[in-house]
Amino acid sequence: MNRFEELFGTTKPVIAMVHLGALPGTPLYDADGGLEGLIKGARSDLHALQEAGVDAVMFGNENDRPYELEVDTASTATMASVIGRLRDEITVPFGVNVLWDPMATIALAAATGASFAREIFTGTYASDMGLWAPDAGKALRYRRNLGRSDLFVLYNVAAEFAASLDARPLPDRARSAVFSSIPDAVLVSGQITGEAARMEDLEAVRAALPETPVLANTGVKHDRVADVLRVADGCVVGSALKVEGDTWKPVDPERAKDFMDRARAARA
């Protein structure tokens, strides 16, 4: 069994998002609900997802709109506090993602004992947040300096809310990222949260990287999960598991169970 399968305990894992409420200092933060409100919402989603049988969960700050490329320290600290309060209730492998900051993501993973981390680590983009140029070399050196060389890193090579300024085709950029930046897995996304990656992009990246796990990162719906898992080595899913499929609503236990029933059938 390779490291990918050892981490997730299965082939073609489903990684489900625990979207935290807006964090302190961000425009949508609920000051009345405060930290306890964030914990309550995350706890409810976490338990619903685990009861549905997801293979892993990932904590993210999806509600911190408008997004930043360097997040406030309070955001990372608050995420660590929430995850710390829930740590004993997590029964599956868990990961973290602090949008859109690789350094903060690595720091949060080290602080919480996360098994994996997702971010944009490579490339240069014109984005809603301005010019976007992450530094994989700096982030992975930071991972080593924090004593987390074991941290599994998922590289999103098709950034949401952005267009690559690199003229090379997506499969070439993905292949180059694997050669130069040693990710543990590669993710392919749609244009925005909840929007599906194009199947032709997923297929092309999968063909270009026969030795690297390739996952669908956005917009995997119930009626597409079998097709996605036919090509990809797994998927990250958030919106499809929410009430009415709405990214900003809580997890719907029945939708989550239905999704996992379909995913298990597809894997079988």
Taking only the tens of pLDDT, the chain with its 268 residues reads 599 999 999 999 999 999 999 999 999 999 999 999 999 999 999 999 999 999 999 999 999 999 999 999 999 999 999 999 999 999 999 999 999 999 999 999 999 999 999 999 999 999 999 999 999 999 999 999 999 999 999 999 999 999 999 999 999 999 999 999 999 999 999 999 999 999 999 999 999 999 999 999 999 999 999 999 999 999 999 999 999 999 999 999 999 999 999 999 999 9
Question: What's the whole-model pTM score?
Answer: 0.98
Tokens 């994989």 map to which residue? 136
pLDDT tens, residue by residue, 36-95 = 999 999 999 999 999 999 999 999 999 999 999 999 999 999 999 999 999 999 999 999
